[in-house]
Amino acid sequence: MYTGTDYTGKMFAFGHCEVYNLSNWNGAGSWVNNQSVGNSYSTYAHVYGASGQLIDSLSPYSLYWNAD
């Protein structure tokens, strides 16, 4: 995940299946989901907003990105 649109700003790389809370993130960001399929960690990644609403579900079976 990136703090800016178009994969700019500070980058956060997540590698373990857990919920990550990012504080002081205001506005838009961007992300790339590029999991390795076929291992025990292949699962959907979920992106939630500050109010807990689901923004997106990212499949482990295809490269997925969102620039904004």
Q: Quick one: pLDDT at residue 34?
A: 77
Residues paired with 32 in a beta bridge: 65
Q: Quick one: pLDDT at residue 36?
A: 67
Q: Quick one: pLDDT at residue 41?
A: 60
Average pLDDT, 10 consecutive residues per value, the chain (68 residues): 89 82 80 72 77 84 72
Q: Quick one: pLDDT at residue 37?
A: 66
User: Would the pTM count as exceeding 0.75?
Assistant: no
Instruction: Tell me the residue range of the domain where 27 lies.
Output: 1-68
The CB density around residue 58, as the number of other CB atoms within 10 Å, is 20
Buried b / exposed e across 23-54, counting CB within 10 Å, b at 16+?
A: eeeeeebbbebebeeeeeeeeebeeeeeeeee
Query: What is the count of structural domains for the chain?
Result: 1
Q: Quick one: pLDDT at residue 26?
A: 75
Side chain identity at 14, as an amino acid letter? F
